[in-house]
Amino acid sequence: MQINKIKTDISEMLSEVFDGATIMVGGFGEAGSPIELLHGLIDNGAKDLTIIANNAGNGKVGLGALIGQRQVKKVICSFARSAKGVTFPELYNNGEIELEVVPQGTLAERIRAAGSGIPAFYTATAVGTPLAIGKEEKVFKGKKYILEEALGADFAFVKADVSDRYGNLTFNKTARNFNPIMCMAAKQSLVQVKKIIEPNLTNPEHVITPGIFVQKVIKIENPIIETNAIEEGIIYP
Amino acid sequence: MKNVSSDNLIRGWDRNIMASKIADDLPHSSYVNLGIGMPELVSQYIKEDREIIYHSENGLLGMGPTPNENEVDLDLINAGKKPVTILPGGSFCHHADSFSMIRGGHIDYCVLGAMEISINGDLANWSTGKGIPAVGGAMDLVAGAKNVFVMTQHLTKEGKPKLVKQCTLPLTGAGVVSRVYSDYAVLDITQKGFKIIELNEEISVEYLQTVTEGKVYQ
């Protein structure tokens, strides 16, 4: 029997997502954001979610829509402000959603650490700032560092470009961003791709995320383009 | 609404002149990260005697200029989430690698804006303490880049000094700024105070001192 991580039904793919789960969502703004998987999560209905992402969504599609559905209790991100953000600001200003602000590089490194078996690490980022409050400080070679803990998740929702049935992924340009490290840090990585190819066509030298970090893959050939969806006034669901 | 105090202010260098001064101080073959907004102008003033490689923290090394409208690719954006291009010799990487370039001390220069800069090089540029707190990559950049250049107006819109003895706003980093390019002067952060590297032709040292908290010297 052959290994085959390719799925054909989003709701079945997300069936193990549970209330209170911690979910990483790939993307930097809309580039690399797994909009169809997020819409699947709205249909799934899981609530009290903690979302780890760089941003907090735009308009009422994708992550913005999920937050708007009040399925998220907490967002861990570096930059929750956005010109097109509507749902997060509303809930935040009403005190209805928690926010943990993390410097972008510390966020990426905490995720990478979780995926690499590193429970915590020292970094110079944020030393002497409000984001260092409550964190252990230590001096190495005369320079101050703070201790940051690894950040893992139950699930990673990821958008890639191409996969084979083993889950070997390649990405498209800056849509790569957080996606590969989130695949490493989550117990289960759920990936949407535009294209699926036969393994003999996968160039091993070009694989960005090896299949060991990926559990389930679905083909979404023509994903929603967030900018266009917001301009057209599309609201999900 | 007219700002009363601005009537008395001297018109400093415009942002293009400031950008060109920064551009002249970036050595050939530097790896540079330009902050969103005013610092982006710097790339327009690089002289032909040098090649600079631009880093964008969302995983792009070798960033090129804004594309033509018909060449926009929403998967190819900069840290400000605006469409950009990639130049020959450029590369993509994931976020942890991209921030290793910053945090690991591989970026030679970063240029950022400021709300306040203190005499000991503290920088405040991410939060006014109001609204949704959002830091992005600013804290990583100031902690990791080899040289941190600040590009800013010398005074706030209300006419208050941005160069201060001690920052009152939440810090982005402590003791991180190397040099300040304002519309009034180019100043280095030193143990003795703000050292004047270049002074706007219209401005005397005495005047600069009146609009700067903390000692300025030549």
Tell me the average confidence (pLDDT) per consecutive run of 10 residues in chain B, 218 residues long.
49 95 98 96 97 98 97 97 97 98 98 98 96 97 98 96 97 98 98 97 96 96
How many angstroms separate the CA atoms of A13 and A186, rounded?
15
How many angstroms separate the CA atoms of B94 and B100, rounded?
10
Can you say whether the dihedral through the CA atoms of A31, A113, A156, A20 is positive or negative?
Answer: negative
For the question of whether the overall pTM of this predicted structure is more than 0.90, the answer is yes
CATH number of the structural domain spanning residue B134: 3.40.1080.10
Peptide bond into A237 cis (omega under 30): yes
Structural domains of chain A, ranges and CATH numbers in brackets: 6-120+151-231 (3.40.1080.10)
Active-site residue identified among B40, B48, B57, B206: B57
State how far residue B152 is from chain A, nearest Cα, in angstroms.
21
How many angstroms separate the CA atoms of B159 and B68, rounded?
39
Closest residue, chain A, to B142 (C-alpha): A125
The helix or strand, by DSSP H or E, that contains position A105, with its residue range, turns out to be helix A104-115
CB A84 within 8 A of CB B136: no
**Higher-pLDDT residue of B8, A237:** A237
pLDDT for B11:
79
Enumerate the residues of chain A whose CB falls inside 8 A of the CB of residue B135. Answer: 78-79, 101-104, 131
Residue whose pair of structure tokens reads 């240029």 in the numeric block: B111
CB A189 within 8 A of CB A214: yes
The helix or strand, by DSSP H or E, that contains position B31, with its residue range, turns out to be strand B31-34
* CB within 8 Å: A108 and B77: no
Q: Which amino acid is at A120?
A: A
Out of A50-59, A171-180, A201-210, B6-15, pick the least confident. B6-15
How many angstroms separate the CA atoms of A197 and A168, rounded?
10
How many angstroms separate the CA atoms of A108 and B13, rounded?
38
State how far residue A1 is from chain B, nearest Cα, in angstroms.
34
Q: Where are the alpha helices (DSSP H) in A45-84?
A: 62-68
pLDDT for B10:
74
Enumerate the residues of chain A whose CB falls inside 8 A of the CB of residue B118. Answer: none
pLDDT for A156:
98
Return phi, psi of residue B139, to 5°: -65, -35
What value does the mean pLDDT of chain A take?
A: 98
CB B110 within 8 A of CB B149: yes
Q: Is the pLDDT of residue A87 over 50?
A: yes
Q: 3-state class of A217 per DSSP? A: strand
* CB within 8 Å: B131 and A81: yes
Radius of gyration of chain B (CA): 18
How many angstroms separate the CA atoms of B215 and B93, rounded?
43
Domain hosting residue B187, numbered range: 4-217
Return phi, psi of residue A64, to 5°: -60, -40
Confidence of residue A53 (pLDDT cuts 50, 70, 90): very high
**Does ipTM come in above 0.90?**
yes
Closest residue, chain A, to B137 (C-alpha): A104
Which residues of chain B approach chain A closer than 8 Å at the C-beta? 56-60, 73-77, 81, 86, 92-96, 98-99, 102-103, 122, 127, 131-140, 143-144, 170-175
Task: Provide the number of structural domains found in chain B.
Answer: 1
Summarised one tens digit per residue, pLDDT across range A100-146 is 999 999 999 999 999 999 999 999 999 999 999 999 999 999 999 99
Enumerate the residues of chain B whose CB falls inside 8 A of the CB of residue A178. Answer: 94-95
How many angstroms separate the CA atoms of B136 and A101, rounded?
9
Residue whose pair of structure tokens reads 């490689």 in the numeric block: B53
Average pLDDT over residues A183-197: 98
Enumerate the residues of chain B whose CB falls inside 8 A of the CB of residue A54. Answer: 95
State how far residue A31 is from chain B, nearest Cα, in angstroms.
5
Share of chain A above pLDDT 70, in %: 100
pLDDT for B9:
62
Residues in contact with A135: Cβ distance below 8 Å, sequence separation at least 6, in sequence order: A146, A147, A148
Q: What residues are paired with A157 via a beta bridge? A: A25, A190
The residue among A174, A181, A230 with the most chain B CBs within 10 A of its CB, best to mutate, is: A174
How many angstroms separate the CA atoms of A37 and A10, rounded?
7
For the question of residue B57 being annotated catalytic, the response is yes
State how far residue A30 is from chain B, nearest Cα, in angstroms.
8
Provide the pairing of β-strand A169-170 with A162-163. Answer: antiparallel
Confidence of residue A82 (pLDDT cuts 50, 70, 90): very high
